[in-house]
A and B are shown apart, each in its own frame.
Chain A
Amino acid sequence: MQFCRLLKLVSLCALALGFAASAVAQSYPSRPVTMVVPYAPGGGADIIARLLADAMKPHLGQPVIVTNRPGGQGTIGTADVIQAKPDGYTIALSAVATLTVQPHRQDLPYNTPDDYEPIIKAANLPIMFSVHAKTPWTTMKEAFDFIRANPGKIRVGSPGNGSMGHLTLATLNSKAGTRFAHVPYLSGAESIPSMLGGHVEALVVHPPEILPHTAAGTARVLATFEEKRNPSYPDAPTFRELGYDVTLGVYYPLIGPKGLPKDIRDKLYQAAKAALADPTFSAGVKSRGFVLDTKEPEAFRQELWASYRANAEILKELGLGKK
């Protein structure tokens, strides 16, 4: 009996040593996977991460634990994960601005999309132009007419300096020749009460944050920065329809540290893809205003590169890049 157990142990050790490389991938995942959200609880990334983590569990065979590690506009938690051991047990649900805007603004442990491994594109989150219900503007055209006659007299809150919302507003100002005044907040959630209280007249904001207030009739969405009209706001035109080609949005990449083995990355990709296709998951995500847009790892890396280059241009034009 004793001998038997010893034999088992020895053979296990041999197996572990001898086939370490392949054994890791075959047995992956043998323990829970940590999904770092580099932002505070309650925001877009946090919600999508928690829903995704829950839906990935049955496909991965191990729980996925969401940990919030906020700070430095997402760069701190993201850098932690990028520098973590590439064993597939530490991944991050980051956001496009953290990965493709921040590296142009400060020195970080990561720079280009080649410095980490994209696993999957989780979802898009559109940006919309919204005003307080008590403001006189019912269409975007009226808002444009007003701002042209009174430059700087519509103050627009954004989720932060260097956020996609800010870049979008600045691009609109430069393409339309308008001067909407920009007021940066720390997050979309923080900008909402400021508009409801009448401290700013308008917001560049995401659907999960503004939906409850448009439903209650305290805010209006005038136009969106999407390619097609948003199903939640069929009456709001896109800016492209209005003649200003500004289609920017936020998306949420699931990423791993650089050097993540291909087979582990594929396992994570397959589990996440299956989770994204799950009908309850997709219904839940869509009802909150996210737009599902799945991309496989390498095609997604190309999209990240495109954003990386485009944002560099925008920042340069706005004078917001590294000094």
Chain B
Amino acid sequence: MNALDGILFGFSVAFEWRNLLACFIGVLIGTVVGVLPGIGPVGAMALLLPATYALTPAGALIMLAGIYYGSMYGGSTTAILLKVPGEVSSVVTTLDGYEMAQRGRAGPALFVAAIGSFVAGTVGVVGLAFIGPLLSKVALTFGPPEYCALCLLGLMVLSRLTDSSLSRAFVMVAAGLALSTVGMEPMSGTSRFTFGFLKMSQGIDLVPIAMGMFGVAELLSMAERELKTQAPIRVRLRELLPTKEDWQRSWPPITRGSIMGFLFGLVPGPTAMIATFTSYALERKLSRHPEQFGKGAIEGVAGPEAANNGAAQGAFIPLLTLGIPFAPASAMLLTALLIHGVQTGPLMMVNNPEVFWGVVSSMYVGNFMLLVLNLPLIGVFVSLLRLPMYLIASVVALLCLVGTYAISNSMLDIWVLLISGVAAYLLRKLRFEPAILVLALALGPILERSFLQSLYLVQGEWMEIFQRPITAGMIITGLVVLAAPALLRQFRGSAAG
């Protein structure tokens, strides 16, 4: 079956009324889960898995997949409105999204985020259908040394993320990496820095840190600002929609973000996150107004949001074509397939075409549903900002506390939330960027694990790691990113002189 026949066949599956309903329920739940921080798509999918026993395997996967990519749409909402990133992949969105909201442009920010998500979703599905099997082979060329190099590249891009000085950025990267060593050493299983808490041996949970460093820290700054009474932001209907200029500035980042996210999504690890901040760094570099980044540049919302959704779609490729889950969410989908008795793996496309093509085609349908579902909600969300400051602050506090507790019903997480909130408030005063710390913390465990695995692989022959073409390429790219501004200055200086 070629891709076109497959998609048409898939639509015949996706448009069965039961599957259409399953898709709708999935994306609806996904939207809710995405908007509310704390309980993520994986938790929601685990809870709803038993509810899919009554469905056909294709229907079950359509619904669960809907929850997954649906949650990617809503993820930016609280990040933009309240500076509460519900998951690590929307940390970058807070940088400019929240700034836009503070300037009364929450509407355009949410609008562009939704459109960016839709475009990236569609690009992802097309890629999945037409070049998926081909790309899955590329994904396999990534072994531990390549993940390790990818993480290193990520860290180098990260230190150029904002316009804070390189030395300040390095301090944040180092702090994030240091925090990531809390917990079990991945290879030997020795517990480190757990101070007797068994729960700490699984490491510091990222979501409390992210919500603390943004949500709670922002509360503290709000309290500070509140003393100088501030008028609530008034938003007129006309201002809900992006202007023509906004569109012109958003299209290229959305396109680049979609493709980049999709390619990053193929590779295991926290690649959705790497895709978001790489897209942000790239847009800042390419923009004609780099000085606006961090102060409400629309490109800084459009690119990362598209990248995030592109990566969510890309992650389906290894799952559907090889039966390999590269992310917790796709592991959940794999479980669903196994429970429903579908033989996963390379033969799934042949043996269960209705599942493969049904899910792929349902993603077109689901992405469209999500757009229709999300656009009208923007008005509602933005009107929330008209509430007085003290109410908004209470909502933020509630979201952070309940969301954190909901992750694993642990008081320890609440303490992590509060401490990181205070820490980030102080860091900001000292002009350090907490976003870098959070993202480095997320990369740390993968970096450590893949580095140790690489050492096992090469059995002590260090140079072998750098002789692998992909690894070498990525490390060189990273060094260029790091050195480019200094070199350019040098070059310009000598040209002028």
Contact = CB atoms under 8 A, between A and B. Distances in A.
Interface of A: 40-42, 46-47, 50-51, 54, 63, 65-73, 75-76, 79, 102, 105-106, 108-109, 152, 155, 160-162, 181-186, 189-190, 192-194, 196-200, 208, 211-213, 215-216, 218, 284, 287-288
A73 B143 CA distance: 22
Contact of B331 (A42, A183, A200): A42
Interface in B35-92: 42, 46, 49-50, 53
A76 B197 CA distance: 10
B202 A68 contact: no
Contacts of A47: 335, 338-339
Interface range on chain B (Cβ under 8 Å from partner): 35 or more
Given A189-B324, A218-B346, 13 more contacts: A41-B335, A42-B338, A71-B199, A75-B198, A76-B202, A79-B198, A108-B198, A194-B143, A194-B144, A198-B140, A212-B323, A212-B346, A213-B346
B268 A193 contact: yes
Interface string B371-396: 00000000000000000000000000
A42 B335 contact: yes
A40 B346 CA distance: 23
B457 interface: yes
Contact of B141 (A70, A75, A197): A197
A186 B186 CA distance: 8
Nearest to B141: A197
Given A71-B201, A71-B202, A213-B345, A199 B408 contact: no
B324 A192 contact: yes
B449 to A, nearest CB: 7
B187 interface: yes
Given A184-B456, A199-B143, A199-B457, A193 B335 contact: no
Interface in B362-419: 408
A181 B339 CA distance: 34
Contacts of B178: none
Nearest to A79: B198
10 tightest CB-CB pairs across the interface, nearest first?
A212-B345, A71-B202, A199-B143, A42-B331, A197-B140, A216-B346, A72-B201, A183-B456, A41-B332, A41-B335
Interface string B292-327: 000000000000000000000000001000111110
Contacts, number: 130
A102 B189 CA distance: 9
A64 B244 CA distance: 55
B484 interface: no
Contacts of A50: 49, 335, 339
15 contacts: A46-B335, A54-B53, A69-B408, A71-B203, A72-B183, A73-B189, A155-B456, A189-B324, A193-B322, A196-B324, A197-B140, A199-B144, A216-B346, A218-B346, A284-B341
Contact of B457 (A42, A66, A75, A155): A155
Contacts of B345: 211-213, 215-216
B453 interface: yes
A159 to B, nearest CB: 13
